[in-house]
Amino acid sequence: MTRDDETARAPRADTGREWELFVREEAADSLRHVGSVNAPTAAAAREHAESLFGWTAEAMWLCPADEVRRTGGRTLGGDGDEESVEDRGDAAETEVSG
């Protein structure tokens, strides 16, 4: 294993809050979840996200990971049964336009 592989597989530093990142590559596209970044503030998360995805995105949305709620759809267990999940409120969102 190379040093780069070790770095890529290493756990992230606990430097703040985890932010989920959604990207729209073109104006007509739907938002698509592309990953997450770890940052102490929304501004720092935006800076990190822009360095990773800003050059391809028409728009980016950052949501604190602990505020994202699943409200329905199929279970994640893979058995295909429908599962109702209680709505726990709106997610706090910060839009990042490129």
Q: Would you kindly state where each structural domain of the chain is located, as residue ranges?
A: 14-70+89-98
Q: Is the pLDDT of residue 16 over 50?
A: yes
- Rounded to an integer, the average pLDDT of 33-46 is 93
Please tell me the predicted confidence (pLDDT) of residue 70.
79
Summarize the confidence of residues 8-25 as an average pLDDT.
77
Number of C-alpha atoms within 13 angstroms, CB side, residue 11? 3
Q: Is the pLDDT of residue 64 over 90?
A: yes
- 95: pLDDT strictly greater than 60: no
DSSP summary character for residue 75: -
pLDDT of the residue at 10? 57
Residue 53, pLDDT score: 78
Fold designation for 14-70+89-98: Ubiquitin-like (UB roll) (3.10.20)
Q: 89 exposed, middle or buried (CB, 10 Å; 0-12, 13-18, 19+)?
A: exposed
The yes-or-no verdict on residue 38 having pLDDT over 90 is yes
Whole-structure pTM over 0.85, yes or no?
Answer: no
Burial (Cβ within 10 Å: 0-12, 13-18, ≥19) of residue 50 = middle
